[in-house]
Every structure is written in structure tokens, then in C-alpha cells.
Amino acid sequence: MHLNHCLTDSFPEVLEKYPNTPMSHKEILQVIQRERLKEISGTSPLACLNAMLHTNSRGEEGIFYKVPGRMGVYTLKVSFKLFYKSKASNQ
């Protein structure tokens, strides 16, 4: 299996599975590997995953949200709203 096909359906699954946990591309890849969500092949899975996250966090149609103040950390757009709402209610 090629990396792009492998990770494109896995990384949203990771962020859905952990909705209150914004993650970096490294953390997402670790979860994919640890939980054996997909077989990963290719020479640079981190770079590919990082590029996919960055590309899919731009504009209104992007499904990811880059967390402000945290370099390279992403969450699903729906999860972002829930994460900050629960954080505000805990303070």
C-alpha cells in the first residue's frame, strides 16, 4: 500500500478517536503505528503526513484546524470547538 492512500483515511480517524487531544503529525503517526490502523510504507511518512495536515487545514473546506500558539498541532474542526469549550468550563 502506498503511503498517501494509507494515511489519508487514518489520520482523521486518529483525531476522531481522540477528540479532545490536539496532536502533531508525529503523535498522529505514532498512534497509527501503535494501534496498527494502517500499514505504513514509503520513505518519509512524517513529511507526507505533515504536508497533508497543512494542506487540509487551509480555507473553509479544510477538515483540520491548526491550534493557535502550538506549532504544528492540529485537531478536527469540530473537535477544536469542543476542546476549547471544555477547557473554558474547567477554568
- 21-55 residue pLDDT tens: 899 999 999 998 899 888 777 778 888 888 888 88
Averaged pLDDT of the chain: 78
The CATH class, in words, for 3-90 is mainly alpha
Stretch (H or E) spanning 33: helix 25-34
Helices 25-34 and 45-55, interaxial angle, to 10°?
120
- Max distance between CA atoms of the chain, in angstroms, equals 45
Whether pLDDT at 89 is above 60: no
What the block records as the C-alpha cell of 50 is 505533515
Average pLDDT over residues 54-78: 87
Domain ranges (residues) in the chain: 3-90
Q: What is the pLDDT of residue 9?
A: 63
Q: What is the pLDDT of residue 12?
A: 81
| Region of residue 69 (left: phi > 0; alpha: psi -120 to 50; beta: else) | left
Q: Tell me what percent of the residues of the chain surpass a pLDDT of 70.
A: 76
